Amino acid sequence: MIYSFGANNYFSFKDGFQVSLEFNSKVPKSISNSRKVSTILGIKGGNASGKTNILKCLQFLSYFVARSFNQPPEGPLFLNPFFTSKKPTDIYIDFESNGIRYIYELSATKTKVIREAIYKKISRKTLIIERKNDELKSRVAELSDLDLITLRSNASLVDTALQYNMKGLGQDLHNIKSFFHKFKGNVSSLGVMEDSYVYDYNVISEYYYKNNDALEFAKNIIKSCDLGISDVEIFETENEKGEPRYFPMFLHPFELNGSKSEKLTYWDESDGTTALYRRLYQYWTVLTSGGALIMDEFDTNYHPALLPQILDLFINKETNPKNAQFIFTSHNLEIMDYLGKYRTYLVSKESGESFCYRLDEIPGDIIRNDRSISGLYRDGKLGGIPNL
């Protein structure tokens, strides 16, 4: 689980940002659900305020920590500072993986790592490994085998070390890489990706065909949202090369000339239904793996009444037994009333520089339980709105 994360000199955040998902003692149990960390977090703000940059930070960490060794040795880091700043970008994340809490810190430019460090938090915060540039400067005794590896300026220490398949490294590096491998969503290190790039219709259909629990999960939500659908079936056929191909059919019941139902293809369905079909595959994989789903404008193509149902999947311990987290942006105003002040961040921008804050950080009693948050936001009393 992610406890908090942040960055300095990162895209539009010149002086940095810090986002916390931790609940303090003031949070009602009806909100915390007896958890110490929130499993949902909404980010609001005007267009181009910097909302997506916060999500890009998480996906950059996912790529860099777990997959950066796959890049060519001379490749870039996909890391952008504030405009033309020559200073390094600093990023950190405080998280828990397999019951162990870690802090990961990175200082880097567009082309190379300046510093990388990992801390382990048990009874106290303990540095377990640190690099500066391409040299290993510190490590605990259990990681002595790392003295033998060659670090690359554009690849993480974690991903590089695990390429050597050393048996004496213990579990910490594996825990960390596994954690970042479980980040999913529609955001890359550099921006938002179209559904057509993120979701492969054929791969998703095959997955549903071979995983009945996942199909039932998606089917039940689709049926509750599309009043014209009573069932979804996945069929197997072959393409012109004799290779297996999978496709869904959506059953629509009706009464006409003795016929009581008709099956429609994916291409005959509404944008909202096909969006659900695609994206619920990713919701399912994150909920069952305990990862993090990072979505920009997750409500696109969805009716507003559906949004609480999606969020409930992550709040309810029965549907989210592994404490998966959902971090997203949305332009829907009413979602703020559902999230409340402890699970909503606002992002504003002044003179090209972004800054953000959680609603419970606003001083005074302007936000009360008997007052609509969306109404206050709409009236410009909380900030984070476009200047129209």
| C-alpha–C-alpha distance, residues 343 and 116, integer Å | 30
Domain check: are 168 and 53 in the same one?
yes
Is 384 domain-assigned? no
The partner residues of 132 in beta bridges, in order of sequence, read 115, 135
The C-alpha angle with vertex 281 and arms to 312 and 163, in degrees rounded to 5, equals 110
- pLDDT attached to residue 287: 97
CATH code at position 111:
3.40.50
Which DSSP letter does residue 305 get? Answer: G
Buried b (16+ CB within 10 A) or exposed e, 195-226: eeebbebeebbbbbbebeebbebbbebbbebb
Domain presence at residue 301: yes
Give the residue numbers spanning the domain of 98. 2-182+293-378
Quote the pLDDT of residue 258: 57
Considering the domain boundaries, does residue 286 fall inside one? Answer: no
pTM: 0.94
What is the C-alpha separation between 114 and 26, in angstroms, rounded? 39
Quote the pLDDT of residue 95: 98
Question: Is 387 domain-assigned?
Answer: no
pLDDT recorded at residue 144:
93
220 and 331 part of one domain = no
Q: What is the pLDDT along the chain (388 residues), one digit of tens a residue?
A: 999 999 999 999 999 999 999 998 889 998 999 899 999 999 999 889 999 999 999 999 999 999 999 999 989 999 999 999 999 999 999 999 999 999 999 999 999 999 999 999 988 899 999 999 999 999 999 999 999 999 999 999 999 999 998 888 889 999 999 999 999 999 988 788 998 889 999 999 999 999 999 999 999 999 988 768 999 999 999 988 899 999 999 999 886 665 677 999 999 999 999 999 999 999 999 999 999 999 999 999 898 889 999 999 999 999 999 999 999 999 899 999 999 999 999 999 999 999 999 999 988 778 876 678 988 888 888 887 766 5
**H or E, element range at 301:** none
CA 62 to chain centroid = 9
How far is 235 from 247, CA to CA, in rounded Å?
5
| 244 within domain boundaries | yes
State how many domains the chain has.
2
91 and 135 both lie in a single domain: yes
Same domain, 30 and 103: yes
pLDDT of residue 298: 94
Rounded Cα–Cα distance for residues 225 and 268 (Å)? 17
Strands (DSSP E) found in the chain: 2-8, 17-20, 40-45, 89-97, 100-108, 113-121, 125-132, 135-139, 183-185, 231-238, 244-256, 259-265, 292-295, 325-329, 344-350, 353-358
Residues 99 and 241 occupy one common structural domain: no
